[in-house]
Each structure stands twice: as structure tokens, then as C-alpha cells.
Amino acid sequence: MDIRDVPEAHIDRALALAYLVFHERPEDELHKHQQELMRECERIGAYDGDTLVGFVALHRFTLSVPGGEVPCPGLTYVCVAPTHRRRGVLSDLIGEVHRRCAAEGWPLAVLWASEDAIYGRFGFGAATDGITVEIDSRRPLALRITPDERPLRMVDPADAPELLGPYYEATRARRPGRLARDAARWRGEWLVDKDEEDDELSPPRIVALGDPLAGYAVYRTRPENEDTHSPGLVRLDELEADTPQAAAALWSYLASIDLTGTVRAWGRPLDDPLLLFAADRDQVRVTGQFPALWLRLVDVTAALTARSWAADTDLVLELRDDRLPSNAGRLRLTVISGAAHCTPSTDPADLTLDVRDLAACYLGGTKAVRLVHAGLIGEHTPGAADALDAALHTGQLPHTGDEF
């Protein structure tokens, strides 16, 4: 198999392969959107002669990490022709992604997985989690705090990138795991008129609190189904707020929209304050939890030094990395005043771990001590996992709203 760039002239071939493996037949509008998306991406193909049999597209993303941000590729549209499965095509494509990361100076790579079983073997760990939350809104939302009383206003989606964009960007400084969005991303991914998966949903609606902006919610609605008598739905896509009171005002608004009886929010952060300030947890239920952003530390030293750290520490980590031997071996991680320094070491290891498990811990979303309890990290010095967790700690849990 020949691994090479996919020229613009082959974008339709790449999309045809993706539609084949993902069992899709998109409408014209969506197809055009995907063509545009592919034009923006770096495109890597596996060719069998002239036939494109494997494909991966790379977004050029900027990911928030504690204390800063890093450029990284976002892998998407990963597909291998059904006729060429399990012959190492994906392994070759990922190998090429690693080479490009080294060439571009990208310390890590990210993706959303179609199936959890695929990417661990390639050194990816689930670095952020999302939860689904459902509110029974047939009665007013019961709260333990008083909502912000400033007026709410509807925002025209056409104005949203300008109004919400800077606000969202500020949230990235507080929450690791978030991707930078430009106006094109807002328009193409968040504000499209027709929902990709449910054509009964309304266009996006945006409600904003305060001026200057103190919070916003992006949502769609679906009317009551008269045949099944299921109540109208509010499907929340994103909610951000400065304070718990501002969040409470937005949640109360969503739960009080006439002719609806359920609010369904997908991909909320694990530490969503709603779960604590809701007075009745029978009314506000977590209905699911899933791994969201998978992260690969391609250059461990560069990635560890790119984030800030919450506590001083000095630990020797014995790292396993089957795919990238340059990461494997013993590394001394010294954190002084929030900055990490990494040097090769011959001292005995405090912790032994696989690179995928370090990736899961990297943004502060997974506790190393839990991985010790699960038998996935070896702790040779008592308290070493606690020390690593204290250093990795982040104020807010990592969260990724952008699925790609």
C-alpha cells in the first residue's frame, strides 16, 4: 500500500469511501459541506495501485491544555475499504500521522472514536469524558440557588460567531480539552440550519444572558409527537456561563419553554454544576457517560512541558510505548513552580505506565491513582500516583464540546 497525500481532485473518492464505511448517503447540502471541510484538512490516503483504499483527514486544531494551548492534528474520517480491512492499512496511516506530527512539531494528536476498541493500541487514551443529562421539564426546574435575574435575549445565529466566539474562547483558558473555533467552525458545525441527524429539529436557537455577555445557550427544539404523545423536546447543544447563578437562569429558561416536556443535553462536562444546584435529582438525571476526546502523546517530553502543573513534584516514570520507541524508557519529571522539566533517567522508577494511560491523565481528567487501583499503572514508591495527580490537577475537569 502506498501512503501519500490525497489531492483535491480525489476528495470525492475519499468521501465516497467514508460514506461506504460509515453507511451514509448524505444530502447534497451536507455533501458540499463535507467537501469544503476536506479542502481545509490535510488528507492522507492509502492507495492500492490507483485505488484509494484508506483515508484519514487531519484538522489543524489548537487545544487548550492547563495554562496554555498546543497546536495538534485532529484525526477524522478514518476509513479503510471493507475489501482491505485488517491488513495494517490503519496502522500505516497512523504511522504517517506520527511522522507528520514530528515534522510539524505537534506534541500530540486528538480524535473522537467511532468505537472504543480501536485506538488504545495506537497509544490514544480517553482524556475527556462527556455526560448526557435529561431534565423532566413538565414542571419548573427546582433549584437550590437563585438564578441570575438579568434579562435574557434571543440572538440571531448570524451574529453568534461575533458575540459568542470571544466568550467561548475565554472558557478555553479555564477548561483544558477545548478546541479553538473560528467563525467558519461556528457556522459550519454549530449553527447549521438543518441538524445532521434529526430533521425534525428546529434551526439553532440562541439565548444570551446579560450585557456584557454573562452566559449563553445554543439549542434546538422538536415539537410534541401527536401520534406517540411524546412531549416536545429541547435539545441543548452548548451552555456556558460565568457564574452558577447565570447557569441556573439559562437552565431554568430551557426547562420552561412552552410546549416542551424534556430538556436533553449531550456532552456536558462531568463536573457540570447543574448536578449540584438542581434540588431534585429525580428531575435532573445523568443518562449516560462516554469517552469524548482521545489523545495521543506523540512527543511525551514536549507535551508534558507544554502544560502548566499544579504542584511541585519529582518522579521517575518508566514509560511503555509500542508504536513510538522514542517515548519509551525512563524519564525524570521534575515540576518546579508550575513548569515541568523532563530528562532521561537511570534511577529506579516510581511509576510504570503505558503512554495511553499517561495520555488519559494528561489533561487532569483521569486520576493516576485510579489506574493504579485498576492494575494499569505500577506504583513502586508509595504515594507516587498521588503526587502525580496533585501535579496534574486542574481547577475544572477537562471537557470537549466539539465532536469532529
Ligand X SMILES: CC(=O)SCCNC(=O)CCNC(=O)[C@H](O)C(C)(C)COP(=O)(O)OP(=O)(O)OC[C@H]1O[C@@H](n2cnc3c(N)ncnc32)[C@H](O)[C@@H]1OP(=O)(O)O
Which residues form the catalytic set?
119, 404
Q: Is 86 annotated as a binding residue?
A: yes
Of 76 and 400, nearer to ligand X (C-beta) is 76
In whole angstroms, what is the distance from residue 213 CA to residue 167 CA? 8
Yes or no: say if 52 and 10 are a contact pair by the CB < 8 Å rule.
yes
Of 89 and 351, nearer to ligand X (C-beta) is 89
> Under the criterion CB under 6 A, does residue 152 sit at the interface with ligand X?
no
Sign of the alpha-carbon torsion through 255, 182, 131, 270: negative
Of 85 and 380, nearer to ligand X (C-beta) is 85
> Under the criterion CB under 6 A, does residue 90 sit at the interface with ligand X?
yes
Terminal CA-CA length for the chain = 27
> Under the criterion CB under 6 A, does residue 275 sit at the interface with ligand X?
no
Strand partners, 329: 319
In whole angstroms, what is the distance from residue 243 CA to residue 252 CA? 14
- 5 φ/ψ angles, rounded to the nearest 5 degrees: -60, 145
Residue selected from 1, 3, 21, 30 as contacting ligand X according to rule CB under 6 A: 21
Residue count (the chain): 404
Residue selected from 64, 76, 394, 400 as contacting ligand X according to rule CB under 6 A: 76
Q: Is 90 annotated as a binding residue?
A: yes
> Under the criterion CB under 6 A, does residue 326 sit at the interface with ligand X?
no
Residue whose C-alpha cell is 481547577: 395
Cell numbers linked to 32? 458540499
Of 118 and 163, nearer to ligand X (C-beta) is 118
Q: Is 91 annotated as a binding residue?
A: yes
Which region among 78-86, 167-175, 204-212, 215-223 touches ligand X (by CB under 6 A)? Answer: 78-86
> Under the criterion CB under 6 A, does residue 6 sit at the interface with ligand X?
no
> Under the criterion CB under 6 A, does residue 89 sit at the interface with ligand X?
yes
Q: Is 88 annotated as a binding residue?
A: yes
Q: Which of residues 113-142 bind ligand X (CB under 6 A)?
A: 113-115, 117-118, 121
Determine which helix (DSSP H) or strand (DSSP E) holds 371, and give its type and residue range.
Answer: helix 368-373
CB of 65 to ligand X, least distance (A): 20
In whole angstroms, what is the distance from residue 189 CA to residue 132 CA? 19
Strand partners, 70: 63
Which region among 72-80, 150-158, 220-228, 344-352 touches ligand X (by CB under 6 A)? Answer: 72-80
Sequence letter at residue 109: A
What is the DSSP annotation of 141-208? PPBSSPPP-SPEEEE-GGGHHHHHHHHHHHHHHHSTTPBP--HHHIIIIIS-SS-SS-TTSPSPEEEE
Q: Is 79 annotated as a binding residue?
A: yes
> Under the criterion CB under 6 A, does residue 186 sit at the interface with ligand X?
no
Of 298 and 384, nearer to ligand X (C-beta) is 298
> Under the criterion CB under 6 A, does residue 306 sit at the interface with ligand X?
no
In whole angstroms, what is the distance from residue 113 CA to residue 90 CA? 13
Which region among 77-85, 147-155, 164-172, 338-346 touches ligand X (by CB under 6 A)? Answer: 77-85
Please give the residue ranges that form the binding site for ligand X (CB under 6 A).
21-22, 75-80, 85-91, 111-115, 117-118, 121
Q: Return binding residues for acetyl-CoA.
A: 78-80, 86-91, 114-115
